[in-house]
Amino acid sequence: MSGMTTYFIRRLMLVPLTFLAITFMVYSVLRVVPGGPIEQAQAAMRMAAMEEGGAGGGTITGEADLQIDEEAMDELKRYYALDRSIPVGYLQWLGLWRREMHSRVPAVPADEFREDLARLKTTREAQHEAETRLTAHLEERGLVYHKDGFFEPLEPAEMPGDLRARADLLRSRSVEPHYPLQKLLADEGMAFADGNYLRRVDAGDDEFWVEAHRLAKRLTGTRAQYDAIVEETGHDLLADGRLIQREFIPLHRLKEAQIAVSEQLQGQLAEQELIEFGGRIYQPISWEDLKGRDERLAKRAEALAEAGFARRDRLLSLLAAHDLTWQNERYYETVGADLRQSDPERYETLEALIDSHRLATTRLERIEREHGYAINDQFIVFRIKRALSGILQLDFGRSYTYGEPVLSLVASRFEVSLWFGLTGFFLTYLICIPLGIIKAIKHRTTVDTATSIAVFLGYAMPGFVVSLILLAGVAVHVEWLPLGGHKPEGIEDMGWLEAILGRARHMLIPVIGYMVAGFAAMTILMKNSLLDNLGSDYVRTAFAKGLRERRVVFVHALRNSLIPITAGLGSALALLFAGSFLIETTCNIDGMGFLGYQAIVQRDYPITLGVLVFLVLIQLFGNIISDLIWATIDPRIRFGAA
Amino acid sequence: MILFKLLLVVLICLAGWWLTHRAVPWTAVKLGRLAGFRMKMTPLTVRRVRRFQQIRRGYWCFVILTTAFVLSLFLEFYVNHRPLYIAFEAPAAEGEDTRTHRQFPAIASWFRLWLPEAASERLGLSADTRSEDFGLKGDSSVPYHDYSRWARDPEELEKDAASIEEWIEEDKERFHAMMEEFAAQQDEVHDRSEPLPDDKIAEYEEKRAEAAFLRELKTHFEAGRARILMPLWPYSHQQQLLHLPGQPPHKPFVRDTVSTDDPTASPTRIPFFGTDFEGNEILAQILYGFRISFAFAMSVAFIGYLIGVSIGAMMGYFGGWFDIIVQRIIEVWGSIPFLFVIIIIASIMQPSFWLLAILLVCLQAWIGITFFMRGEFYREKARDYVQAASAIGVGDPKIIGRHILPNALVPVVTYLPFSIVAYINTLVALDYLGFGLPPESPSWGRLLRQGAENIINHPHLVGFAVVAMAATLFCVVLIGEAVREAFDPRKYSRLR
């Protein structure tokens, strides 16, 4: 293999390495620095919410905003794998380490039922109807139907004293459907439903009971029918009429149970301003009390609390070592012996609730894990998939300012940047080559000196400043030139001539800015290269042959002196994109650079990293392409040769 | 007066030139001799320097720019809102001698710039004055503009007092007019002889006391007890000119003296070059901005070249695996879109002068020179003198530092000016995007940004910053071109 080929293979192999090094560096910076993405995003969102809320914004909109925030935050956390270490998180972001993906399982609205599923609905209706009729019939004698049996409501006084006390206690400590309570009552031939204690009644054989048995049988019949259909179709109906897959039913039930316990627990806790955290009960403690107890601890905790989200874990573990915790911007201490003694019953109730909450949660989690699904508080089911999903799988995440996938955003903006980049690029060559030739031919004449000043100025001033001067000095006064944007409004409806002129109008100033970047270097390069060639022997020979000067310069010398110019092709293109965001910001062009800049300002990290990935790739391949072009055009160039 | 000031400007420039191109080199040579160095240039270097001096435009730019930078190091002495000297002779109380209070706030602020905080505290260098010490009331700093106006013409105090009283009368009139209009709406008649509300009376009392105080102050100023010497251009980037009428920014070249409704504001002259959006005077911003931009570029270039030259020297000298590995690292590092990355980092951390400088060095500045130095060392290493030095047992560090380095500095000299252009532009771009120096630093980029955001109403902000940038950078580029020409001359010859 020739040296050249190995050289380029080596260069290509270096591309992934470079890419990894750069992205890892930036990823680490975003993660390590205090006030990383999450916190910055939170602050930014809070600001935005405050601005929007303004005078009229009530609490409802505020809470709604917070809801969205939580969701976005969850997505952000998942995307950046903030719960994992930096290397693992980076690999997940890259797509080389499996990550947990939550994809929403769409619930089918009732009116989109498939044919065969319509039976589900009719059977459910029949079942309801049977139930209503049975209830109505039993009401005549004040009876209720519960779990395949007929019951009569029991006045509390009718119950034996100790049984009732035990039942009440169990009732307060368990949640619907009160399994321990039901078990206790069933042994006594009793039950509990809708807040009433019930006692089983013996069926008679009069007309009333015949009818009652008939209706009850019909109800069980429809139930069985319904269950059969559920079995057959694999779908079930929710109370609100939405359709759900049968395998999600346990999830639903458990979630409902968990929410019920949670609500009961929170209600009990809120009554006494207590909180539950990690299975323990805490009561609030004021900062002064905390300081009085342990001043050093209090100060350290306060410092950590102020450091924000990034130090939250450290804060909690510090406090946990002292039986304290920190929630909702307040300090809490564990409930001591005083509550246990002053109100043992309540305390035990709380503990029982906490236990059953924990039980419900673990059960739910087990089921979630087993089935590979997760359910959130709004009963939306997500499919949990552990898969590779990162930028290698083209999953760049989702921007939370635009709410669109980053990839499509970048792609749409890339087109705009391409317009300007390419135009600027070609115009640079179109102007620089003739100018360089003129300067070389008229070396050390007035023309040369005069254009040199322009070249030096172009070298000295960055492109965006030149655009800015033109905007401030010309565009402000000339109505014909727009102050920003990349195309006229309603360009789709214009004739082709008008459209081209409109685009040209919008592109004039930015493109001049783009051109400044390469203008000076390119012109000087062209001039020097031509001068070099004009002094060489083969030109001397051509002159000696008696060729005309025009032919010598334009045919003989120029061809060779164009070689160095083409060498910069790839890297010039890369430079145009990399440096363009200054011009795009100045001229309000919705290009990729502007997208990246705004993303940084708005702390939209998915876009920031996405744009970075693109910039790095363009730069890397641009460099290689320019070397390749150079080597192809000029056979004297030998890369990789010792 | 204007002639006198212009003369002063010329004198300052001459002094700067003398300092930069006579005093400093002379001292450096003398000190070097004392320390045992003999500054002897090789004939080749002498020829190069002479060639550089012969390229007139480059050489003149060099003289102007170095002078300007050295002068800018002393900006506090002649562009400052603080006076060079302020004194007040407190009237003698019973049985006491008169006590004169003197301070040199401008000079103190210059020293504070260079000395660490603790040292200037110990020396008692205070750039702030207390109004109480200078015959005024309160703890705050003396209002130097008013003070110098009063010192120049004590009658101004009488005018100020009169304008306060005038304002009281006008305000009364305004109040009555308002009440009459209000009464007319209610179909009633406002009685002018009715007593004014208490808060109005209290306010007027206060204003009258203020006027009386000004009149009392006038006696001190007439007796020549207050003296103040303002710098040549009595503004600075640290002072927001909030006493000016209207909202900042103020347009330049407006020479009117405007009075306002505010009683405390005496007729004020808007600075010739206008102010920016924060109320800072523009010329002061530009001049201080020149200093900080140039200092930034020089620091970055210095640190970057220090690192780049050392690494490049080692690469070229040792070669082998070290060379290959560092080459690959440079290739990786050079592909970072550094401006984008700096902005990402700056958006998370609050950048300071040195943090920005170090970021720029790490991400960009050390790379460019490394390859040139590598090439130079690679070439020089094969020369006989290196072999000779090596043969007599001179160690590697000494060969690199003493033998090869002086012969390999041509790229450093020729690329330095262009690097400085690049770093100044980077700083301006960062400031322009809002991720640059902290907001209290003067900066060209911020002026550009303010101008860009209000391009229709205030293009002058862009104009001044651009003129400053263009002049500075153009000079640097011309120097660079001349240096390149002098160190690496190309003589083109061709037949015609």
- One-letter amino acid at A437 equals I
Q: With DSSP H G I counted as helix, E B as strand and the rest as coil, what are the percentages for chain A, rounded to 5?
A: 70, 10, 20
**Listed ranges A239-243, A468-472, B14-18, B269-273; the one with the highest mean pLDDT:** B14-18
User: Which of B331, B470, B476 is opposite residue A14, by nearest beta carbon?
Assistant: B331
Mean pLDDT calculated for residue range A116-133: 81
CA distance A417 to chain B (A): 16
Chain A contact set for B324 (CB, 8 A): none
Mean pLDDT of all residues belonging to chain A:
77
Using alpha carbons only, give the angle B411, B413, B419 rounded to the nearest 5 degrees: 85
CA distance A63 to chain B (A): 28
Confidence of residue A57 (pLDDT cuts 50, 70, 90): very low
User: Which of A460, A600, A603 is opposite residue B343, by nearest beta carbon?
Assistant: A600
> Which residues, at least 6 apart from A561, have a Cβ–Cβ distance to it below 8 Å?
A526, A529, A530, A532, A533
Q: Give the pLDDT score at B12.
A: 92
Q: Return the percentage of chain A with pLDDT > 70, whole number.
A: 82
Q: What is the DSSP letter of A398?
A: B
CATH of domain B282-492: 1.10.3720.10
Q: Which two tokens stand for residue B360?
A: 């720029």
Q: What is the DSSP letter of A391?
A: G
Of residues A561, A574, A534, A539, the one with CA closest to residue A634: A561
Q: Which two tokens stand for residue B380?
A: 């020089």
Q: Which two tokens stand for residue A260?
A: 């019920």
Which residues of chain B form CATH 1.10.3720.10?
282-492
| Chain A, nearest residue to B444 by Cα | A465
Q: Give the pLDDT score at A67.
A: 41
Check whether A32 has a pLDDT greater than 80.
Answer: no
Binary contact (A26, B344; C-beta < 8 A): yes
Confidence of residue A170 (pLDDT cuts 50, 70, 90): confident
**Distance (Å, whole) CA A387 – CA A101:** 7
Binary contact (A612, B337; C-beta < 8 A): yes
Let me know: does A387 contact A99? Beta carbons within 8 Å.
yes
**Distance (Å, whole) CA A100 – CA A60:** 32
Three-state SS for A186? helix
Q: What is the mean pLDDT of each successive set of 10 residues along chain B, which is 496 residues long?
A: 88 92 90 81 87 91 94 91 87 73 87 85 80 80 85 85 88 87 83 80 89 87 85 84 73 61 54 82 92 95 95 91 88 81 82 91 90 89 90 91 87 90 93 88 90 84 90 92 85 63
Q: Give the pLDDT score at B293.
A: 94
Q: Give the pLDDT score at B342.
A: 87
| Chain B, nearest residue to A530 by Cα | B492
Check whether A576 has a pLDDT greater than 80.
Answer: no
**Distance (Å, whole) CA B214 – CA B206:** 12
> Which residues, at least 6 apart from B408, have a Cβ–Cβ distance to it below 8 Å?
B313, B373, B376, B377, B380
Q: Give the pLDDT score at B339.
A: 84
Q: Tally A–B CB contacts below 8 A.
A: 132
- Region of residue A638 (phi > 0: left; psi between -120 and 50: alpha; otherwise: beta): beta
Three-state SS for A631? helix
| Chain B, nearest residue to A584 by Cα | B433
Using alpha carbons only, give the angle B443, B446, B452 rounded to the nearest 5 degrees: 145
- Give the pLDDT confidence of A332-351 residue by residue, as tens digits: 887 766 667 777 777 777 77
Binary contact (B462, A472; C-beta < 8 A): yes
Q: Give the pLDDT score at B276.
A: 83
Q: Which two tokens stand for residue A632?
A: 């192809």
Terminal CA-CA length for chain A: 15
CA distance B451 to chain A (A): 8
| Chain A, nearest residue to B363 by Cα | A22
Could you please report the per-residue DSSP string of B45-95? Answer: HHHHHHHHHHSHHHHHHHHHHHHHHHHHTTHHHHB-SS-SEEEEEEPP-TT
Q: With DSSP H G I counted as helix, E B as strand and the rest as coil, what are the percentages for chain B, rounded to 5?
A: 65, 5, 30
Check whether A495 has a pLDDT greater than 70.
Answer: yes
**Distance (Å, whole) CA A56 – CA A52:** 9
| Chain A, nearest residue to B57 by Cα | A453
User: Which of B332, B448, B494 is opposite residue A18, by nearest beta carbon?
Assistant: B332
- Give the pLDDT confidence of A61-100 residue by residue, as tens digits: 333 344 445 556 666 666 666 667 788 888 888 888 877 7
Three-state SS for A243? strand
Give strand ranges (E) for A147-200. Answer: 149-154, 190-193, 196-200
Q: Which residue has the higher pLDDT, A315 or A554?
A: A554
Q: Give the pLDDT score at B265.
A: 47
Three-state SS for A281? strand
Confidence of residue A59 (pLDDT cuts 50, 70, 90): very low
Let me know: does A423 contact A487? Beta carbons within 8 Å.
no
Residue A266 CA from chain centroid, whole number: 30
> Which residues, at least 6 apart from A288, have a Cβ–Cβ distance to it below 8 Å?
none
Binary contact (B474, A456; C-beta < 8 A): yes
Q: Give the pLDDT score at A582.
A: 86
Let me know: does B213 contact B165? Beta carbons within 8 Å.
no
Binary contact (B448, A468; C-beta < 8 A): yes
Let me know: does B216 contact B243? Beta carbons within 8 Å.
no
Chain A contact set for B470 (CB, 8 A): 457, 460-461
Mean pLDDT calculated for residue range A501-516: 85
Q: Of A464-468, A498-502, B325-329, which range is least confident?
A: A498-502
**Distance (Å, whole) CA A503 – CA A490:** 11
**Distance (Å, whole) CA A532 – CA A377:** 76
Binary contact (B481, A456; C-beta < 8 A): yes
Q: Of A567-581, A612-626, B270-284, which range is least confident?
A: A567-581
Q: Give the pLDDT score at B268.
A: 60
* A201-215 burial: b if 16+ Cβ within 10 Å, else e: eeeeeeeeeeebeeb
